[in-house]
């Protein structure tokens, strides 16, 4: 089990950027029978989502979030030692996006820049990486952005009502912080549960771009994401509550010591189930899925920025849990101190 502990490292600032364009699930009558739409909205919890224009990428949203964080905290760009870009929807297959953002943000050429790619657990894994660099005395800017609207077919009845776009920026550095704990796990036997099939192992051909009706009745191409909802559901039900209990036990505390429990915003039904299974106070479980949808790896920090910006206090104990493609799941216990959260901006 990968259990990682850090002392005197923490999050000092956060920001977020979402697209201006709002898509409402009530308008999906072209895809889903009108009498079923309200039931679907209630089950997944997604009323509306943000979707980028065709010429906007995840890095553009990350850039705006980073500028907001830098300006609001009067940060000298030359003081950033490490820039991490977490995304499954990078600008290009080659080159990496982090150096592109380094140049756009006018950070020093001495900045260590690196892309990270994982599923909806990505922020927890990337945050642990940011903590590792910060533990060495480096100042780390973690940018996490996703534009799943670009890789989900708009006639996919499972995925299109679910996913939205967004990005966040997180500043991690040394300071007077209590111990943070990360538990990071993987199960590659479930790789087919969430997958884009064509690209490398299955080389792209003209057929990759052809829309097909698949066994589940949904329409997609080989270049668009497929998700087996039942496989993901069963995996999450088994792994996620157990991971939260593990981190509480490892930290030597109890569930009552958690101020806020922040889950990846997969769907409301799933999160409600976690809360019930853990017998946790639902008033201390924030949701943003109703207005932003499932934003994949960025959903955990987006939930913090959008829902806890005026609630986090010095000493707030937050447990974050992300899970998804890989299969992978990660849980972190972080105690906040002096974190400045900027208002969400639109682009």
List active site positions: 120, 264, 294
What are the helix (H) ranges across the chain?
34-44, 58-72, 98-104, 122-135, 229-250, 268-278, 289-292, 299-307
Instruction: Give exposure, 153-162, as e/b (b: 16+ Cβ within 10 Å).
Output: beebbbbbbb
Instruction: Give exposure, 275-307, as e/b (b: 16+ Cβ within 10 Å).
Output: beebebeeeebbbbbebbbbbbbbbbbbbbbbb
Token pair 């958690």: residue: 258
The closest of 167, 115, 170, 109 to 139, measured between CA atoms, is 170
- Give the three-state DSSP class for 271: helix
In this structure, are residues 328 and 185 in contact, taking their beta carbons and an 8 Å threshold?
A: yes
Q: What is the DSSP string of 37-98?
A: HHHHHHHH--SEEE---TT--HHHHHHHHHHHHHHHTT--GGG--EEEEE-SS-S-SSS-SH
- For residue 330, give every residue at least 6 positions away whose Cβ sits within 8 Å of its Cβ, in sequence order, or none: 121, 124, 125, 128, 182, 183, 184, 185, 243, 321, 322, 323
Q: Report the alpha-carbon distance of residue 22 to residue 50 in Å, rounded.
A: 5
Q: Report the alpha-carbon distance of residue 79 to residue 77 in Å, rounded.
A: 5
In this structure, are residues 174 and 313 in contact, taking their beta carbons and an 8 Å threshold?
A: no
Q: Report the alpha-carbon distance of residue 328 to residue 240 in Å, rounded.
A: 10
CA 324, 325, 328, 331 dihedral sign is negative
């Amino acid at each position: 089990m990968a259990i990682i502990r850090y002392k005197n490292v923490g999050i000092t600032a956060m920001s977020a950027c979402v697209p201006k364009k709002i898509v409402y699930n009530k308008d999906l009558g072209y895809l889903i029978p009108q009498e079923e739409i309200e039931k679907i909205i209630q089950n997944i919890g997604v009323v509306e989502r943000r979707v980028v224009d065709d010429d906007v990428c995840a890095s553009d949203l990350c850039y705006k979030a980073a500028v907001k964080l830098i300006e609001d905290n009067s940060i000298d760009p030359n003081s950033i030692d490490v820039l991490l870009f977490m995304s499954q929807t990078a600008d290009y297959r080659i080159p990496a996006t982090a150096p592109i953002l380094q140049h756009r943000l006018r950070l020093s050429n001495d900045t260590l820049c690196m892309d990270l790619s994982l599923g909806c657990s990505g922020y927890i894994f990337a945050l642990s990486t940011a903590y590792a660099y910060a533990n060495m005395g480096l100042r780390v800017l973690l940018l996490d952005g996703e534009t799943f609207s670009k890789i989900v077919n708009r006639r996919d009845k499972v995925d299109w009502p679910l996913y939205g776009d967004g990005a966040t920026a997180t500043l991690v550095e040394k300071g007077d912080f209590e111990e943070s704990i990360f538990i990071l796990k993987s199960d590659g036997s479930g790789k087919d549960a969430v997958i884009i099939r064509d690209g490398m192992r299955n080389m792209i051909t003209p057929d990759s771009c052809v829309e097909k009706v698949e066994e589940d009745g949904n329409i997609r191409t080989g270049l668009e994401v497929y998700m087996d909802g039942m496989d993901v559901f069963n995996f999450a039900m088994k792994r996620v509550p157990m991971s939260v209990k593990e981190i509480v036990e490892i930290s030597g505390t109890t569930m009552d010591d958690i101020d806020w429990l922040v889950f990846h915003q997969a769907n409301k039904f799933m999160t409600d189930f976690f809360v019930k299974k853990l017998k946790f106070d639902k008033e201390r479980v924030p949701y943003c899925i109703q207005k932003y949808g499932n934003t994949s790896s960025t959903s955990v920090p987006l939930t913090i920025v959008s829902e806890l910006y005026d609630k986090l206090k010095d000493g707030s104990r937050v447990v974050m849990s992300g899970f998804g493609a890989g299969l992978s799941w990660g849980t972190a216990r972080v105690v906040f101190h002096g974190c400045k959260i900027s208002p969400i901006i639109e682009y």
